[in-house]
């Protein structure tokens, strides 16, 4: 994270170098319907699933594990379907039903730069929720136009638990 003065007249301007590795829209779906939603995007648009993280089984034995996040590829881009549950980071993502995920090595710098530009940080960094599919650290900012952006640590180990 590099801090320096802006060049174009604004002495107060903060220039932070942030590099983003990927950009993925994330759609939040009620957890019990997330499996169906993933199947729908495969059937309707030909999306291909490349990653899935699930919660451990809970409550009844016959209940399938809920999807935390499934990553889908479509027309050369990637998007994420996440199950909404009361205790997930998703629910804390500002109440919207979608967010934009930006993968970056430096979550703190990304938040600093976004906040300097007018975004509002929503809570701190959450560890180990897999919210953007396999990301280990996630944090959220809300932009001035009401959209949620999630900064996620890179997910290098993605690929397990994929259902064709």
Pick out residues in 93-132 that bind its own copies (CB under 8 A): 97-98, 100, 102-103, 113-114, 116-119
Q: Count the residues of the shown chain that bind its own copies, applying the rule CB under 8 A.
A: 41
Q: Is 18 helix (H, G, I), strand (E, B) or coil?
A: coil
Please pick, from the candidates 66, 68, 69, 79, the single residue that binds its own copies as defined by CB under 8 A: 79
Please pick, from the candidates 2, 44, 60, 64, the single residue that binds its own copies as defined by CB under 8 A: 44
Q: Which of 48, 44, 54 is closest to 83 using CA atoms?
A: 54
CA distances from 37 to 5, 44, 47, 56, 143 (A): 46, 10, 11, 19, 27
Please say which residue, 10 or 128, places its beta carbon nearer to its own copies.
Answer: 10
CB atoms near residue 17 (< 10 Å) = 11
Structure tokens at 72: 């889908």
Binding residues for its own copies (CB under 8 A): 18, 20-25, 27, 29, 33, 36-37, 40-41, 43-46, 74-79, 97-98, 100, 102-103, 113-114, 116-119, 143-147, 149
């Amino acid at each position: 994270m590099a801090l320096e003065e802006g060049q174009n007249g604004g002495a107060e301007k903060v220039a932070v170098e942030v590099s983003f590795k990927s950009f993925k829209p994330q759609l939040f779906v009620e957890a019990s319907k997330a499996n169906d939603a993933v199947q729908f995007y495969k059937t309707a648009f030909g999306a291909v699933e490349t990653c899935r993280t699930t919660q451990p089984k809970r409550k009844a034995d016959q209940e399938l594990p809920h999807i935390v996040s499934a990553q889908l590829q479509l027309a050369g881009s990637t998007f994420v379907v996440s199950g909404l549950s009361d205790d997930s980071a998703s629910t804390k993502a500002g109440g919207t039903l979608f967010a934009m995920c930006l993968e970056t090595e430096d979550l703190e710098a990304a938040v600093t730069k976004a906040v300097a530009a007018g975004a509002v940080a929503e809570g701190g960094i959450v560890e180990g929720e897999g919210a953007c599919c396999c990301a280990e650290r996630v944090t959220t900012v809300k932009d001035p136009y009401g959209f949620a952006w999630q900064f996620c640590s890179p997910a290098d180990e993605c690929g397990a638990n994929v259902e064709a």
